[in-house]
Amino acid sequence: MHSSAFSLLAFLALADVALSICPGFNYGVTTVQSLGDNNAWMVYDDSCTLVDMVIEPKNGNPCTSRTFGCSPPPVTINTYMNTQSKLVYACRPAPGAGQCQGVDMAVCCRNDGH
């Protein structure tokens, strides 16, 4: 009986880890994903719910979208503006950021108070 309870607790703990990203942050932005003639960057909340997406042509630049801001070279997404709330979040690479839907997070984003 104890073995079954332990197995259930272990499964629930692993399921929780698998369904959370970017510990200590509000959002995670995926690495670029190919969608036919376009590229996409998805934004997930910390429980892997898709909350936003930027789609650009293959030669497009997500840094020129109103959703993301980027650093100088080497270019990385360093801000995310939530398209619903218009709140701005500071983004940075974070160790152990995790995955949602099997896609790695490129950066994690936290509200910077703006």
How high is the mean pLDDT of the chain? 84
pLDDT at residue 4 is higher than 70:
no
Q: What is the DSSP letter of 25?
A: -
What pLDDT, in 10s, does the model give residues 18-48? Answer: 468 999 999 999 999 999 999 999 999 999 9
Find the length of the chain: 114
**Domain spans, the chain:** 2-111
CA–CA distance, 37 with 27 (Å, rounded to integer): 26
Portion of the chain with pLDDT greater than 90, in percent: 70
Question: What is the rounded average pLDDT of the residues 95-113?
Answer: 90
Q: How confident is the model at residue 112 (pLDDT cuts 50, 70, 90)?
A: low
